[in-house]
Amino acid sequence: MHFDGKAILVTGASRGIGREIAKAFAARGARVALHYRCELEAAETTRNMLTGEGHIIAQADLADPAAVKRMVDEVVERMGRIDVLVNNAGIYEELPLPEATYDEWAAYFPRVLGVNLYGAANATYCAAKYMMNQGGGRIVNISSRGAFRGEPDAPAYGASKAGLNSLGQSLAKLLAPHKIFIGTVAPGFVETDMAAERLAQPDGADILRQSPLGRVAKPEEVAHVAVFLASEGAEFTTGAIVDVNGASYLRS
């Protein structure tokens, strides 16, 4: 899988899964635009890790539609085109219903969906418009097994990822005639800073045992699938959702 000279935009690229996705594309010859919201230093650290040249950093609050459009326009202006969009950025917040006030509940869903679903939808719209004019492209969404098994303590997160799955499948049908192909990766727990705190809790060992492999995924394993879905030759996977959860949750 080679991406020589292609322009890749990865949202949430300053750390974790996004960082590994950016590294994987760069290692295959791509020029990568690294999106970040507020962690400029971390984004610069990621850029310094990338092989090759032509990598840039782009800032935006994905909950702000105007900021999303400005970011995509800036990436295209600086890189000349956009061949692949990876919607990786996301936030995870817990708010079990029995413990929440109505005001907390009412603010919680727009906050989480504003980044995880609306932000991804707006980035997809902006990138797809450019892709249609340039003859095609690839979009890869990073979802979660929580979209299928449920997230009782983080219902907005689960809902946002279920929505992202449906968005990807809907647009895969719509955009295929424009040679824009869309794939989704649905990881379980991944060895990232975001998951470290959860795995350090008393039930962390139980989480590891959810997979018959006795561990959680490495970010590189998620990145590998994201790169495959964006590669030439994977066009007929458009609309697919690929589980990367070590058989911790199997859906029919």
Backbone angles phi, psi at 181, to 5 degrees: -115, 135
CA distance 207 to 81: 41
CA distance 33 to 236: 26
130 is catalytic: no
Q: Choose among 74, 90, 106, 102: nearest CA to 11.
A: 90
7-10 and 84-87 beta bridge pairing: parallel
Query: How would DSSP label each residue in 135-179?
Result: T-EEEEEE--THHHH--TT-HHHHHHHHHHHHHHHHHHHHHGGGT
End-to-end CA distance of the chain: 30
Q: Count the Cβ atoms, other than its own, within 10 Å of residue 201.
A: 10
| Residue 143 structure tokens | 């979802």
| Residue 198 vs residues 46, 78, 168, 194, 205: alpha-carbon distances, Å | 24, 39, 28, 8, 10
CA distance 241 to 45: 31
CA distance 120 to 124: 6
Pick the catalytic residue from 36, 108, 118, 157. 157
Please check whether residue 113 is in contact with residue 163, taking contact to mean a CB–CB distance below 8 angstroms.
yes
Active site residues: 157
